[in-house]
Amino acid sequence: MKKIASFTIDHTILPKGLYTSRVDGDCVTYDIRMRRPNKEPVLENGAVHTLEHLIATFVRNSEYSDSVVYFGPMGCRTGFYFIVRDTVSPGQVISLLQNAFAFCADFSGEVPGVSEKECGNWKDHDLDGAKKEAAAMLKVLEGWKTEQLVYPSR
């Protein structure tokens, strides 16, 4: 089988950050890397799950909601994928995600979609962990520029 694009990225040198992963027609996939692969402990499940609920809700309620295709965790638990239509510019994506992580870092109240009826694993959430992870990622994204969206190479 042909190797998929995400397996061609050198994970041994990948720092935390935001990268353009791939472009498929009018869809752009962004790699939100919150952990250095194989060098730092992975994100905890409860925090990942809560971040997914909060950020997915935030971006789908933003001015770009019609262009949001997907937001969800990577299986390796080192970050998330964010897929949008190309009607959202890279600069707008950076700003949207900065705002989303700020929203999460300061969130209080009931996490959206956390009930047995709404969620397939509703008991596995960690708001405090999600807030901590969001605050840490917000620092990474502070001042992030479109030129930085390219994966590093040796």
The span from the CA of 59 to the CA of 82, in Å, is: 10
pLDDT-derived band at 4 (thresholds 50, 70, 90) equals confident
In this prediction, residue 139 carries a pLDDT of 98
State how far the Cα of 153 lies from the Cα of 53, in Å rounded to an integer.
Answer: 33
Our measurement of the distance from residue 1's CA atom to the centroid of its chain's CA atoms, rounded to an integer in Å, reads 28
- Please state, in angstroms and rounded to a whole number, the distance separating the CA atoms of residues 71 and 88: 15
Nearest to 111 by CA among 151, 55, 39: 55
- pLDDT recorded at residue 145: 98
Reported as a single tens digit per residue, the pLDDT across 111-126 is 999 999 999 999 999 9
Edge-to-edge strand ranges of the sheet holding 17-24: 17-24, 27-33, 79-85, 68-73
Q: Is 53 exposed, middle or buried (0-12, 13-18, 19+ CB in 10 A)?
A: buried
pLDDT in tens, 10-52: 999 999 999 999 999 999 999 999 999 999 999 999 999 999 9
pLDDT of 46-82, one tens digit each? 999 999 999 999 999 999 999 999 999 999 999 999 9
Q: Is the pLDDT of residue 92 over 90?
A: yes
